Amino acid sequence: MIYTYKGLEVLYPVSELNTHYLDRIILTMSKALKDYKRVHALRLDLRLPVSDSEKDILRRDEIFNNTFNQKNIIKRFFESLKAKIKAQEKRMKASEKRIYPCHLRYVWCRERNKSNNDHYHLVLFFNKDRYFSSGYRDNEESLVRLIMDAWSSALGEYVDNADRLVQLVYKGTHYLDQNKYDFENKYQALFTRLSYFAKNRTKHYDEGKRCFGTSQG
Q: Is residue 5 part of a domain?
A: no
Q: Residue 70's Cα: distance from chain center in Å?
A: 17
Q: Is residue 128 part of a domain?
A: yes
Q: Is residue 8 part of a domain?
A: no
Percent of the chain at pLDDT > 70 equals: 86
What is the residue-averaged pLDDT of the chain? 88
Q: What is the pLDDT of residue 58?
A: 44
Q: What is the pLDDT of residue 81?
A: 98
Say whether 108 sits in a helix, a strand or coil.
strand
Determine which helix (DSSP H) or strand (DSSP E) holds 124, and give its type and residue range.
strand 119-127
Higher pLDDT, 167 or 62: 167
88: closest CA among 75, 101, 76?
101
Does position 35 have pLDDT exceeding 90, yes or no?
Answer: yes
Q: C-alpha angle with apex 50: 44 to 51, nearest 5 degrees?
A: 125
Handedness of CA 21, 22, 25, 27 (dihedral sign): negative
**142, 134 Cβ separation under 8 angstroms:** yes
What is the C-alpha to C-alpha distance for residues 182 and 215, in angstroms, rounded to an integer?
26
Q: DSSP for 44-99, please give it.
A: EEEE---SGGG-----HHHHHTTSS--TTHHHHHHHHHHHHHHHHHHHHHHTT---
What is the C-alpha to C-alpha distance for residues 82 and 80, in angstroms, rounded to an integer?
5
Q: What is the pLDDT of residue 9?
A: 99
Least confident of 48-62, 75-89, 196-210: 48-62
Q: Is residue 77 part of a domain?
A: yes
Q: What is the pLDDT of residue 49?
A: 81
Q: What is the pLDDT of residue 60?
A: 42
Establish how many alpha carbons lie within 13 A of residue 172's alpha carbon, considering only the half-sphere containing its beta carbon. 17
Q: Is residue 157 part of a domain?
A: yes
What is the C-alpha to C-alpha distance for residues 39 and 30, in angstroms, rounded to an integer?
11
Confidence bin at 15 (pLDDT 50/70/90) = very high
Q: What is the pLDDT of residue 160?
A: 57
Confidence bin at 120 (pLDDT 50/70/90) = very high
What is the C-alpha to C-alpha distance for residues 90 and 139, in angstroms, rounded to an integer?
18
Percent of the chain at pLDDT > 90 equals: 71
Structural domain containing residue 91: 15-214
Q: What is the pLDDT of residue 157?
A: 64
Summarize the confidence of residues 88-111 as an average pLDDT: 94
Residues 6+ apart with CB under 8 A from 205: 211
State the total domains in the chain.
1
Q: What is the pTM of this model?
A: 0.89
β-bridge mates for residue 126, sequence order: 40
Q: Kindly report, residue by residue over 152-184, the tens digit of the pLDDT.
A: 999 886 555 667 899 999 999 999 999 999 999
- Burial class from Cβ neighbours inside 10 Å (0-12, 13-18, 19+) for residue 142 reads middle
